[in-house]
Amino acid sequence: MKRILFPTDLSAAAANAFIYALHVADKTGAAITTLHVYRRPEVKAASLPHTLEEFYASYDLEEFQNYKDSIPALNDIQKASGFAHLEVNHMLKSGKPVEAILRAAEEEKADMIIMGTTGATGLKKIFLGSVAGEVLEKAACPVLAIPERTVFDGQIDRIAFTTSYKEEEKKALEKAMEIFDPFHPLIHCINVDLAHTDFQTHAMDKFKEGLSQGSHLQFHVLDGTDIKEVISRFLRENDIDILAMVTHKRSFLEGLFNYSNAKMMSYHADTPILSIQAHTL
């Protein structure tokens, strides 16, 4: 891994996620590019093009100065965490947050996006979503979303990987193993058996074929009727550091009424979510 993109809105949640980005960069030898996105106000002044141009130039300059003033705080976090040796660059872009983040990830050839999330509640989580939730589904590289309340101890010892035993998920598992190999984690592959049958056990045995077996890789079929509840309980009982999932792009209607499990978990869980997009496998 060569480059990590770290979008930040300069919030406490982002500062918390920055610590994760520093640790991952240190273990993998990657450089970090921080990104702050701002929205230009819409001003109707068709008859005053020069005045409007001057206004936007002044606005851009002010945003640049604000971000420039915030960089020392990131530098302080970097030094206090013992990572002064890491390469960290800074980028400022205007536009819609999700579009700007995805565009920057492509331009920077980012191998991973790491960002904070504050979650969402009620109808907001369905109809408005969150920037992190949208990036989880649409990015062209793995995304690690860090919940605001997560406390990082510097170790990634245990990872849970949700699977329904599809072939694409095997590739995603191998990707997750590759990314976090420097941390030497124990990886739990978990499947929630909603039908309460023996079929999942047989599917699990077939899924194992071709995977590098060892004590670092364990498989579990969990019985339950509520996926979120069952997974959340497993995360708590096994002290999981990261929950990894495969995500899929959603159409507009699907996005309204059937948002992905990864997005759902990113809103509610205290455990960081690693999203590996199906369209990249």
Extract the tokens encoding 128. 């408005």
- Mean pLDDT, each 10-residue run in order, the chain (281 residues): 92 90 96 88 61 66 75 91 94 89 96 83 44 86 90 92 87 92 94 70 77 77 81 90 85 46 65 89 79
pLDDT score at 48:
55
pLDDT score at 129:
46
pLDDT score at 224:
78
Tell me the residue length of the chain.
Answer: 281
pLDDT score at 3:
97
Closest by CA to 39, choosing from 107, 77, 111, 95, is 95
Sign of the Cα pseudo-torsion (4, 28, 176, 119, in order): negative
CATH class of 3-147: alpha beta
| Domain positions in the chain | 3-147, 158-280
- Distance spanning both ends of the chain, measured CA to CA: 16
**Whether the Cβ atoms of residue 185 and residue 173 lie closer than 8 Å to each other:** no
Given this chain, do its domains 3-147 and 158-280 carry the same CATH topology?
A: yes
pLDDT score at 137:
83
Closest by CA to 54, choosing from 95, 94, 62, is 62
pLDDT score at 257:
42
pLDDT score at 204:
79
Amino acid 245 reads M
Closest by CA to 103, choosing from 42, 70, 94, is 94
Pairing outcome for strands 143-147 and 273-277: antiparallel
195's torsion region: left (phi>0), alpha (psi -120 to 50) or beta?
Answer: alpha
Q: What is the model's pTM?
A: 0.83
pLDDT score at 196:
60
Q: Specify the CATH number for 158-280; select among 3.40.50.280, 3.40.50.620, 3.30.365.10, 1.10.3720.10.
A: 3.40.50.620
**Whether the Cβ atoms of residue 281 and residue 139 lie closer than 8 Å to each other:** no
